[in-house]
Amino acid sequence: DIQMTQSPSSLSASVGDRVTITCRASQNITTYLNWYHQKPGKAPKLLIYAASSLQSGVPSRFSGSGSGTDFTLTISSLQPEDFATYYCQQISSIPFTFGPGTKVDIK
């Protein structure tokens, strides 16, 4: 299985802050990477696919980059509705594994 790691595991930020979350794969996955966020008690929601393509309806303050083994999710200006846990997922090979998550909370 491809192992996914994320850093940091949690962070505290203020509304308006620029936030960056990193995801690393245990082997080369080119751009076969998706990002989701999840609010408490809710299902995950797709934000970014193919490492950098914005899902329809997702605000443009979200962006993704990277290829190979190292990826980044950036929120350019954090909004109140963005406080959630963020997960990366590799879809290069089965099983489609998720990272452990990064919890973004209010400073």
Residues that bind other proteins in the complex, under the rule CB under 8 A: 1, 31-32, 34, 36, 38, 42-46, 49-50, 53, 55, 87, 89, 91, 94-101
Give me the least distance between CB of 22 and other proteins, in Å please: 16
Q: Which is nearer to other proteins, 16 or 95 (CB)?
A: 95
Residue 41 CB contacts under 8 Å (≥ 6 apart), including other chains: none
Q: Which is nearer to other proteins, 13 or 58 (CB)?
A: 58
Give me the least distance between CB of 52 and other proteins, in Å please: 9
Got the DSSP string for 18-76? -EEEEEEESS--TT-EEEEEE-TTS--EEEEETTTEEPTT--TTEEEEEETTEEEEEES
Give me the least distance between CB of 14 and other proteins, in Å please: 25
